[in-house]
Amino acid sequence: MNFNNFDINKLVILWQATENQPELRNQIGQILNDRIESNESFSREHIFDILYIGKKSLTISFIPTSESFKKYGQTIVVEGNYNDDTAKELLQNFRLNPPKNTFGIVPVSPLYTDDLEEEQIDTLKKDGFKTKDILTLI
């Protein structure tokens, strides 16, 4: 079966379902890793719009083979943690016509911390996560 033609959500479901089939899971995991490298589904500005401008929280799900998934688990609930320089940069990008989209690190403050250790909380606030690791935003 050619998994390369599957969308990322189907690949995640297959990856989750193949826990007892390591060879197949590794094959799907490699495809997921390839997709992570080119993932530009969610920009820093899009997240900034929701967290900072809209003053809302976000539930973020990560792609299972991503760095963020390995560091923080499948899902985190967060609010923005922007310093003045970053907020200014993202606001300028957001206001351009058309808006400029950038990808990279997003620092956040976790709202639900029961599943996180203190070190993970500190890392999210300081180093954040990579936009390419995001599967979905809610």
Residue 133, SS3 per DSSP: helix
Angle formed by the axes of helices 22-37 and 8-17, nearest 10°: 150
User: How far out from the chain centre does Cα 5 lie?
Assistant: 22
User: Model confidence over 9-47: pLDDT tens digits?
Assistant: 999 999 999 999 999 999 999 999 999 999 999 999 999
User: Model confidence over 53-89: pLDDT tens digits?
Assistant: 999 999 999 999 999 999 999 999 999 999 999 999 9
Provide φ and ψ at 78, rounded to 5°.
-140, 165
User: Model confidence over 103-122: pLDDT tens digits?
Assistant: 999 999 999 999 999 999 99
Q: What is the pTM of this model?
A: 0.94
